[in-house]
Amino acid sequence: MVSKLLRDTKALLGEYWIAHIKLQTVTPDRIRPDGLKLNCVLLDKRTNQAVLLLDNHAPFGYHIHPQASTDHNFREEIVVESPYEAIDIFFSRAKEIIHGK
């Protein structure tokens, strides 16, 4: 199967934040049995560091790294019906970071 890019979006959020969303099809395997690969990154332009990540892969499924800049190994599982629901959760969490909540 040839990978197909479904979404590749970069958005400036406020003065200091860049969100990058990439969703693509992949050959289903043990790592991504649903045949989808999702990566969401919130980048702080001041430090050039990722502060929030969301991705999907075995054995964790869809999960978020809320402390991406300090502890990449810390994950929170999220239960979603689709990658689009995961993207909504990512933007909700990104807004909390941007607005200091």
Residue 31 lies in a domain: no
Segments forming the whole domain that contains residue 51: 9-20+41-98
For 39-85, what is each residue's pLDDT tens digit?
999 999 999 999 999 999 999 999 999 888 888 889 999 999 999 99
Residue 73 lies in a domain: yes
Residue 3 lies in a domain: no
For 23-32, what is each residue's pLDDT tens digit?
999 999 999 9
Residue 29 lies in a domain: no
Residue 27 lies in a domain: no
∠ CA 54-43-2, nearest 5°, is: 50
Residue 1 lies in a domain: no
Residue 30 lies in a domain: no
Query: How many domains is the chain built from?
Result: 1
